[in-house]
Structure 1
Amino acid sequence: MKLRKQDGVPMCISIEKLTNLRALSLTSTEENEVIDLQHLSSPPQFLERLYLTGRLEELPSWIPSLRSLARLFLKWSQLRDDPLVHLQDLPNLVHLELLQVFDGDTLCFKAGGFKKLKLLGLDMFDKLKCVQIEKELCLHSRR
Structure 2
Amino acid sequence: MMIDEDEYLRMDALSSAPPRYLNVLILVGKLEKVPCWFHSLQNLSTLLMRWSRLTEDPIPYIQALPNLGRLHLCNAYEGGGQLRFSEGFHKLRILRLWNFPQLNEIIIERGVMTGLQDFHIRTYMQLKILPHGIEYLEDLQELRLTFVTNKLKECIRGERSKDHQKVWHIPRIYRYWQSPTEVKYELLSHSTDC
Q: Root-mean-square deviation (CA), in Å? A: 2.6
Check 1:103–1:66 CA distance in 2 against 1; reply closer, same or farther (3 A cut).
Answer: same
C-alpha displacement of 1:76 = 1.2
Structure-2-length-normalised TM-score: 0.57
Q: Report what 1:23 is aligned to.
A: 24
* Consecutive aligned runs of 4 or more in structure 1 exceeding 4 Å deviation: none
Asked if 1 retains the 8 angstrom alpha-carbon contact of 2:54 and 2:79, the reply is yes
Q: Report what 2:42 is aligned to.
A: 45
Q: Return 5+ residue gaps in structure 1 as ranges.
A: 137-143
Higher RCO (C-alpha under 8 Å, 6+ residues apart): 1
Q: Report what 1:63 is aligned to.
A: 62
Q: Report what 2:11 is aligned to.
A: 8
Structure 1 residues 1-143: aligned runs within 5 Å: 2=2, 4-5=7-8, 7-11=10-14, 13=15, 16-28=17-29, 33-34=30-31, 36-40=33-37, 42-54=39-51, 55-60=53-58, 61-77=60-76, 78-80=78-80, 82-86=82-86, 89-101=88-100, 103-134=102-133
Output the amino acid matched with 2:70.
R
Asked if 2 retains the 8 angstrom alpha-carbon contact of 1:9 and 1:36, the reply is no
Output the amino acid matched with 1:63.
I
SS in 1 for 2:13: helix
Q: Return 5+ residue gaps in structure 2 as ranges.
A: 137-194
- Give the stretch that moved more between structures: 112-121 or 39-48: 39-48
Q: Could you say which structure has the larger radius of gyration?
A: 2
Between the two proteins, what is the percent identity of the paired residues?
19
